[in-house]
Amino acid sequence: MTMQEAKLYVIPGSHPSRSAMLMLDRKGIPFKRVDLMPVISKGVVRAQGFPGVTVPALKLNGRKIQGSREIARELDHIQPEPALYPADPEKRGKVEEAEAWGDEFQQKPRRMSWWAFKRDRSPMVSYSEGARLGVPVGLAVKTGAPIVAIAARLNGSTDENVRADLAALGEDLDRIDGWIAAGVIGGPEPNAADFQLAPSIRLLMSFDDLRPFIDARPCGEMAKRIVTDFPGRTPPIFPAEWLEGLRT
């Protein structure tokens, strides 16, 4: 079967979008990346005929596949090697469990990012490195206050939620380190859960406030190995007392 060129709709700096890009690269499937502006992306993706409003959204061989987990399964289906899921059902179950947890976990770095951008939009430019949005990134960021306000609201980026996310982060990272210790992720052949989790960790590490607590952990090492480059940097922004839980 001859493959048509794949088209992947993404938002610059979006962590699950990076998961999809990494998995396409892993399979050696060439694709055209279409960068979309957050919030505006919802309408574009719907207009392209996808059932939902989120990125990553992939057009491949006439099919429309939306969601990082769905994309992982479809890629293994159309091209089994290198496999994104283990053949052994028990091992596969564990990878799927870590992957599903990672899909939920995505919301925490997403919520933190919009919380931070609402306070200071200037770091947003760094997250759009290499993106082609159709307008200069600097201008998009300068005029982006309404988009940031909507995204922060839609993602529940309240002080209360972000504070709770930060308080639980140490435990979340311990859980990921536990999966590495158990050999579920972090092995020599990255699987769908590695690709799901690593970009979320890299997005967390883009915060100067958080990087020191993650860098030397097994999950920090794993994330740097799987995602060799991840754009963006946010200077210290969280109140010191919100980071207490990470210090202990």
Ligand X SMILES: N[C@@H](CCC(=O)N[C@@H](CS)C(=O)NCC(=O)O)C(=O)O
User: Of the two residues 65 and 173, which places its CB atom closer to ligand X in the complex?
Assistant: 65
User: Of the two residues 98 and 243, which places its CB atom closer to ligand X in the complex?
Assistant: 98
Q: Is 8 helix (H, G, I), strand (E, B) or coil?
A: strand
126: its two tokens: 């760094």
Sheet of strand 57-60, all strands in order from the earlier edge strand to the far edge: 31-35, 6-10, 57-60, 63-66
Structural contact between residues 223 and 201, judged by C-beta atoms closer than 8 angstroms: yes
The dihedral through the CA atoms of 158, 114, 211, 214 has a sign that is: positive
The torsion region of residue 109 among left (phi > 0), alpha (psi -120 to 50) and beta comes to alpha
- Residue 113 binds ligand X (CB under 6 A): no
Contact with ligand X (CB under 6 A): which of 94, 110, 111, 202? 110
Give the binding range for ligand X (CB under 6 A) out of 51-59, 208-216, 228-236, 238-246.
Answer: 51-59
Number of residues that bind ligand X (CB under 6 A): 17
- Residue 128 binds ligand X (CB under 6 A): no
Contact with ligand X (CB under 6 A): which of 38, 123, 190, 220? 38
Contact with ligand X (CB under 6 A): which of 22, 26, 56, 72? 56
- Residue 75 binds ligand X (CB under 6 A): no
Contact with ligand X (CB under 6 A): which of 11, 116, 131, 173? 11
Q: Is 81 helix (H, G, I), strand (E, B) or coil?
A: coil
DSSP secondary structure of 155-190: TT--HHHHHHHHHHHHHHHHHHHHHHHTTSSSSSS-
Residues in 150-179 that interact with ligand X by CB under 6 A: 151
User: Of the two residues 202 and 243, which places its CB atom closer to ligand X in the complex?
Assistant: 202
Structural contact between residues 197 and 219, judged by C-beta atoms closer than 8 angstroms: yes
Give the binding range for ligand X (CB under 6 A) out of 10-18, 82-90, 133-141, 219-227.
Answer: 10-18
Q: Interface residues with ligand X (CB under 6 A)?
A: 11, 14-16, 38-39, 41-42, 54-56, 67-68, 103, 106, 110, 151
